[in-house]
Structure 1
Amino acid sequence: MSYRALYRVWRPQTFQDLVGQEHITRTLQNALAEGSFSHAYLFSGPRGTGKTSAAKIMAKAVNCEKGPAPEPCNDCQTCRRITEGSLMDVVEIDAASNRGVDEIRDLRDKVKYAPTEVRYKVYIIDEVHMLTTEAFNALLKTLEEPPGHVIFILATTEPHKLPPTIVSRCQRFAFRRIALPEIVNRLRYICEAQSVEADENALHQIALAADGGMRDALSLLDQVLAFGGRQVDEETVLAVTGSVSRNELAGILRALANADAGAALERADRLIMGGLEPERLLHDLIHACRDLLLMKTAPQLPEVKDRIHDQLWTELAEKWSVGQLSAVMDGLIAYQQQMKWTPHPRIVLELAIVNASQSNSALNEKEAVPSDTVRRLEERIRQLEERLQAIQGQIVTQSPQTAGFRRHDPPQKASTRSAGASVQQDQWKSLLQQSDTETFRRVKQWWPDILYKVKERKITVHAWLVDGDPVMASKDAVVVAFKNKIHRETTEKETNKSLIEQVMQDVLGSSFRLITVMRQDWDALSDSMTEMSAAAEEGKDAGASPSDDVMQKAVELFGEDLVEVVD
């Protein structure tokens, strides 16, 4: 077969060719230049980042006829044969298929023999974490004190599975995910060398789908070329990778910015009916929000440099604030976690879109206070200040006897207006007075177990409850505060609430009522009750005074529920 895959044709042959791993190549080159290289190396990192390529380059560098040198010449017979894989003294072992103790014993018996053609016998053990425990034990002594003519290079994508006794005997190098701009630059270079016309947005999409792996990027480029010929455009890349076009993403985000859940759902439905996976759409939405967030907070980053000059994304970024993007991303990421466990990913996606639209609408209302409302409030405050100054002047110039001070009952109008709020506030006040610190501490301690038990019984109830946090407990009740209104309302359904209360009884050993509240309401209530308690204490000490008339004037102006006395 004459055709070779791009990742094989463009496999790095020198340390300089390795992309995005300068911290490793510089160290190895310095060690080679000084002749102080180790007898054992451990290369760890994600797939497609250059671990095996670096191992082969190292084998060439130590055995090059013009070396050992910081770079192999790739011209001598030794370098060429190592590249071809035909040199017997450089042994590449796949630990996934040679994982037993017998294979390692065979290797241990052979390492004592000197190399036949080159200076060093190099053993490259790929996916070394696949070896059995017995195989690792058989390798230990040889790895610790190998003959002077042997170099071991171990490569793995899962270093945490290696025994510490193996890791401690090696120099470890952690390969990183390759940055998106570096992948794009490498793809552009290869396309130019292959005489392929490539659109910049298309290369960006390939790099994004590769997720930090150069081999994955080259494999995708190979697939795109097979699909679309000698021209690489964004439409072809999207068809091959199953990603969402930037226009579609921009349309959904524009609808969310306008709090138009219907338009966003229509676009999502059209994409899913066209064959797009809900998981992929949610993934791309999160990354698009991230790009917008970086455009607004760190436009100098290379990753968003191209977006900055894109009019479509620039206009879209103007529709969002940093707070809105942050809140929407938090929600989407939470739903992405839920999507991993649900048999209905499309429903989770639709719920995520609706929730993002609602939360953005709430933020818009909170951030955009009408200017006329602000003016009315400022005017009302000014009038209050003038009237208070006038009243205080009368108190200073008149004595209580001449002024005829007497304590008035609160105006009926103000009492009526605040009656509804007072009833609810009294109920919460009673509940707060019954709060028990020891019970609350026990609830907080066992809350993870409660969530786990709920998840075992009904995973959908757990998905709603996990948004809440216990904020108070009494001897017979637990108060849980929610950030999201939908989560609270669903938890309040009778069947869901009964299940949670039953689990709390099983875990805590006694029955508790579940009381739910919105987080912002709870914070406001706690502050209000604290202020009322402090004011009550001050009132006991102060008793009636001439300032009561000032307070009554303020009540007449604003209403009893908006007046706070500050000394």
Structure 2
Amino acid sequence: MSYRALYRVWRPQRFEDLVGQEHVTKTLKNALDEGHFSHAYLFSGSRGTGKTSAAKIMAKAVNCLRGPAPEPCNECETCRKITDGALMDVVEIDAASNRGVDEIRDLRDKVKYAPSEGRYKVYIVDEVHMLTTEAFNALLKTLEEPPAHVIFILATTEPHKLPSTILSRCQRFAFRRIAMGAMLAHLRSICDSQGVKADDAALAAIAQKADGGMRDALSLLDQVLAFSGDQVDEGSVLAVTGSVSRQALAEIMESILRQDASGALDSMDRLLTEGLEAERMVQDLIHLSRDLLLLLAAPELDEVANRISSYDSWTHLSEESTVDNLGWMLDTLIEAQQKMKWASQPRILLEMTIVRLCKLPENEASKPQPTGNGENEAIALLQKRVDQLEKRLAERNQEPVPPSPRIAKEVDSGAFPSAESRSPGKRKEQRGGGASRVPAFLKQSSAEHLKQAKQHWPELLAKVKERKITVHAWLIDGEPVAASPDGVLVAFKNAIHRETTEKEANKSLIQQILGELFGSPQELVTVMRAEWEQYRASEEVSATREQPSASVSASSSAKEQEDEDPVRRAVDLFGKDLIEITD
């Protein structure tokens, strides 16, 4: 007889043979004992946990000649045929290759026929999540109200992909990953029955690699037996799986905990030279860090005892570290594992990770850690900003009423600083050419230069908008109120607009464009509109704007009235070509 794989030889034939699924087997056995079994079942869980085996055992239990019974006899002709896959009334369907609506329609047409040999027709649909939406819709009615002689057993590893209409029509059983202790006991019993000598460390390595799947564990054991014969040791398992030995892992981890980067890199280089992959080393370090963390945090766990109890050096390693440090190391290794999937040089990334782990400061755990969602930091930041805004608003509300002409003269001469100049937020601005520059600037200003500045103002705004639209958004709030041969005085209504315009980069851009328009270097001086009105009301400002003779004064007044004419101002700003005057 040809050789059969271990997982086929040791496939469960009774409910009591299923390992680690007592919650499922007890429920099914009670239902069979009372005769209250359903017409549709859904077995879900990860690979290798016994879903298909449980479905076949269920099919034998309901069709057994001595049943229906909680356990099949496995001796009658019906049980033997189901075990061999020769009974026509038990149909196994692979939904991955029969996923279309036509296959389900064919199944729906055949379920109405009575069983030919057994008591029930049992349809076992494996990987049922692979069916198309149309196939599920075709199955709905039959699944909900099948003939009395039909039982559906659906098996899947991804139950979340099934429509809720299918889930609601089935009794659902979730198969769990097999625990480490149960898997080790089952592997030990198989080795004993096969006459194989196996070390506890070797079986633990196989169980860890299987990750809760008994079929994976038996396949790996079969492969190790082919490699080493009847003697299974940890070295054989590591050679087959390509993993790092516990001794080598312990040496690397000990060097890391002692912050010995040289020793850790030497051990890593030796393992990589022997053919170990960098990705596999990171994965093994993650498992070791996790085991040490569990050993420190919960030493009473059975899983920890099964994995570490046979290796004393790991217990010694846990005593040299702390829970916080191991948690930090796990985060670092997991991050490296994610990056390694896309790294073209995984060895370099592994070396960087080991060096980083070796440089873990002793007070790493004592550093303040961020909260789960950063709410405390966000609240503190918002509170600080609110306090700053309230302080600024309070300072603005304390601005004095417009001063009398005599006080305005003292303000212009600098003998009595204004409230604006006393504000801490304005001192830096004034040093750059704020309100204190206005009196000296007005002595050099003239109406002719102001007219020229107003004529160029629309063009200035357009050029500023072309070069930097954000500066244009702030500058458009200002208006030229005075001009001299070397500069322009602009009054702003909003303080924020003025402050932003006074920033060095923004101001430099505006002065550069002014120089291009006027053909000579120009200086930009800013002032608030309220301050400008104070200067105009003061006698000194009036004197700088009026000529000594009455005739000149009259002509200036006429000129000002002319400038106040809205039509004239529109022509000056936009040009005659763009203005159309209608009565």
Tell me the CA shift for residue 68 of structure 1: 0.9
The 2-side partners of 1:49 and 1:360 are apart by 44
Alpha carbons 1:24, 1:175 under 8 Å: kept: yes
For 1:304, give the aligned amino acid.
Answer: V
1:209 pairs with 2:209: yes
Q: Deviations over 1:115-154 (max 9, x none)?
A: 0111110000001111111111111110011001000000
Rounded to whole Å, the distance in 1 between the matches of 2:169 and 2:77 is 32
Report the 3-state secondary structure (helix = DSSP H, G, I; strand = E; otherwise coil) of the residue aligned with 1:359: coil
1:47 aligned partner, one-letter code: R
- Name the counterpart of 1:94: 94
1:64 pairs with 2:64: yes
Q: Which amino acid aligns with 1:282?
A: V
Given that residues 95 and 131 in structure 1 are in contact (C-alpha distance below 8 angstroms), is that contact kept between their aligned partners in structure 2?
yes
**TM-aligned CA deviation for residue 347 of structure 1:** 2.6
CA distance in structure 1 between the aligned counterparts of 2:386 and 2:338, rounded to whole angstroms = 33
Deviations 1:452-505 (A, max 9, x none): xxxxxxxxxxxxxxxxxxxxxxxxxxxxxxxxxxxxxxxxxxxxxxxxxxxxx9
Q: In the alignment, does 2:339 pair up with 1:338?
A: yes
Alignment partners' CA distance in 2, 1:96 and 1:365: 53
Alpha-carbon distance in structure 2 between the residues aligned to 1:351 and 1:158? 37
CA distance in 2, matches of 1:3, 1:132: 37
Partner of 2:406: none
How far apart are residue 309 of structure 1 and its match? 4.9
Give the stretch that moved more between structures: 186-195 or 340-349: 340-349
Q: CA deviation at 1:362?
A: 4.6
Matched with 2:186 is 186
Per-residue CA deviations over 1:179-238 (Å, capped at 9, x if unaligned) read: 122111111100000000001100000011111110000000000000111111110100
**Rounded Cα–Cα distance in structure 1 between residues aligned with 2:206 and 2:197:** 14
What residue number does 1:141 align with? 141
Tell me the equivalent position of 1:153: 153
C-alpha displacement of 1:338? 2.3
How many residue pairs end up in the alignment? 375
Equivalent residue for 2:222? 222
**Which structure has the greater CA radius of gyration?**
2
Cα distance in 1, alignment partners of residues 386 and 83 from structure 2: 70
C-alpha spacing 1:10/1:335, structure 2 compared with 1 (3 Å): same
Partner residue in 1 for 2:170:
170
Choose 336-345 or 138-147, whichever is displaced more. 336-345
Counterpart of 1:12 in structure 2: which amino acid?
A: P
Where structure 2 has 5 or more consecutive residues not aligned to the other structure, the ranges are 368-380, 388-469, 471-583
The Cα offsets for residues 496-522 of structure 1, whole Å up to 9 and x where unpaired, read as xxxxxxxxx9xxxxxxxxxxxxxxxxx
- The CA deviation string for residues 26-74 of structure 1, in whole angstroms up to 9 with x for no partner, is 1111111111111001111111110100000010111111111111111
Q: Distance between the aligned counterparts of 2:312 and 2:43, measured in 1? A: 43
Equivalent residues of 2:122, 2:150 under 8 A apart: yes
Name the aligned partner's letter for residue 221 of structure 1.
L
- Distance in structure 1 (CA, Å) of the matches to 2:168 and 2:268: 51
Distance in 2 (CA, whole Å) between partners of 1:346 and 1:362 is 29
What SS does structure 1 have at the residue aligned with 2:360?
helix
Please give the per-residue CA displacement for 1:329-352, whole angstroms capped at 9, x wherever unaligned. Answer: 122122222223333332332222
**Contact 1:61 1:69 (C-alpha < 8 Å) held by counterparts:** yes
Aligned match of 1:84: 84
For residue 65 of structure 2, what is the amino acid of its counterpart? E
Q: After the TM superposition, which residues 246-265 of structure 1 pair with which residues of structure 2 at under 5 Å, given as runs? A: 246-265=246-265
Q: 2:345 corresponds to which letter in structure 1?
A: H
Contact 1:99/1:132 (8 A) holds in 2: yes
Q: Is the 8 A contact 2:112 2:147 kept in 1?
A: yes
Q: For residues 343 and 172 of structure 1, do their structure 2 counterparts lie closer, same or farther at Cα, with a shift above 3 Å needed?
A: farther
Greater CA drift, 334-343 or 172-181: 334-343
Residues 355-434 of structure 1 mapped to structure 2, 5 A cutoff: 355-363=356-364
Is the contact made by 1:108 and 1:139 (CA closer than 8 Å) also made in structure 2?
yes
Q: Which moved more, 1:201-210 or 1:301-310?
A: 301-310
The residue aligned with 1:471 is none
Change (3 A) 1:286 1:360: farther
- Alpha-carbon separation, structure 2, partners of 1:282 and 1:362: 25
SS of equivalent residue, structure 2 residue 359: helix
State the AA in 2 paired with 1:329. L
Which residue does 1:6 correspond to in 2? 6
Moved more, 343-352 or 188-197: 343-352
- Residue 522 of structure 1 corresponds to none
2:57 partner SS: helix
Amino acid paired to 2:313: L
Residue 119 (structure 2) aligns with: 119
C-alpha distance in 2, partners of 1:364/1:264?
22
- Which residue matches 2:266? 266
Contact between 2:201 and 2:310, CA under 8 Å: does it hold in 1? no
Q: Call closer, same or farther: CA 1:294–1:116 in 2, change over 3 Å.
A: same
Cα gap change, 1:116 to 1:350, in 2 (>3 Å): same
Q: Tell me the TM-score normalised to structure 2 length.
A: 0.62
| Contact 1:295/1:308 (8 A) holds in 2 | no
1:349 aligns with 2:350: yes
Show the counterpart of 1:429: none
Give the match's secondary structure for 1:221.
Answer: helix
The offset of 1:110, in angstroms, is: 0.3
Give unpaired runs (5+ residues) of structure 1.
367-431, 439-504, 506-567
Aligned residue type for 1:112? K
Tell me, in whole angstroms, the C-alpha distance in 1 between the residues paired with 2:267 and 2:151: 57
Report the counterpart of residue 107 of structure 1 in structure 2: 107
Alignment correspondent of 1:390: none
Once residues 98 and 360 of structure 1 are traced to their aligned partners in structure 2, the CA distance between those partners, rounded to angstroms, is: 58
Partner of 1:308: 309
Partner of residue 55, structure 2: 55
The letter of the residue matching 2:317 is L
Q: Cα RMSD over matched residues?
A: 2.2
Q: Give the secondary-structure state (helix, strand or coil) at the position aligned to 1:326.
A: helix
Contact 1:184–1:203 (Cα < 8 Å) also in 2: yes
Report which stretch shifted further, 313-322 or 38-47. Answer: 313-322
Query: How far is 1:97 from its partner?
Result: 1.0
Deviation at 1:14, TM superposition (A): 0.7
Conserved 8 A contact 1:324-1:360: no
Q: 8 Å contact 1:257–1:360 — kept in the other structure?
A: no
- 1:294 is aligned to 2:277: no
> What is the Cα deviation at residue 319 of structure 1?
1.3
The aligned residue for residue 237 of structure 1 is 237
| Amino acid across the alignment from 2:63 | N
**Residues of 2 paired with 1:39 and 1:352: CA distance?**
55
Q: What is the distance in 1 between the residues matched to 2:361 and 2:291?
A: 18
* % identity of equivalent residues: 68
